[in-house]
Structure 1
């Protein structure tokens, strides 16, 4: 498997990890909607992709080490005690589910292409 394939699978894997972590954060926000002083949480992942995008725009190639540094993380959102808008959380949950499904389709397509290349190479 080439470097590009490893980077693609690695990035897709991290994006899927981010959707799973985001699912957990949204569930926690919904569960604590009526908790006084609760501070919403979110996931920082896409914001950290800016540096990677800049590297790619400048014609650079990201290293696997730089991809490892892009792990999704929970972070506080807003101010403690700000109300949790349940309708917004449910909408975020729906968006996150759609994003996860799209990422799974891309990963499946990528693996299918790799499988075709390997199987065609055996002939």
Structure 2
């Protein structure tokens, strides 16, 4: 089964991908009046995916509390979102690299190398 081969990393990649979408939406709506910035609670979302409840990711989305709310009700703080996006992208790439290495090991083992 894939869980045995890849452990938690496949689920982590899925959650990181979902978080990237949430953060990208925040950045895209940085100037939209009334837009409320959101983020994905990684542990909650990972627990939901590991339990086989992909829809549980929606329950892991939380509204971000701004340091300085804007006058138009928008709670996106661009520097915070960009930093979170960059950190998540690095974590996504790290997880993907691990999985690619694991797939390479399995391929070599199957070929008898």
State if a TM-score over 0.5 links the two structures.
Answer: yes
| 1:116 pairs with one of 76, 93, 108 | 108
CA separation of 1:3 and 1:86: change in aligned 2, threshold 3 A: closer
Who is 1:104 aligned against? Answer: 96
CA separation of 1:46 and 1:84: change in aligned 2, threshold 3 A: same
Question: What's the CA shift string for 1:33-87, capped at 9, x where partnerless?
Answer: 22232221212332355x69xxxxxxxxxxxx95413663361313594621101
CA RMSD of aligned residues (A): 3.1
Who is 2:82 aligned against? Answer: 90
Query: What's the TM-score once normalised by structure 1's chain length?
Result: 0.65
CA separation of 1:101 and 1:39: change in aligned 2, threshold 3 A: same
Who is 1:77 aligned against? Answer: 63
Who is 2:69 aligned against? Answer: none
Unaligned runs of 5+ in 2: 67-72
Equivalent residue pairs, number: 105
Unaligned runs of 5+ in 1: 53-64
Q: Distance in 1 between matches of 2:65 and 2:18?
A: 21
Q: Aligned with 1:68: secondary structure?
A: coil
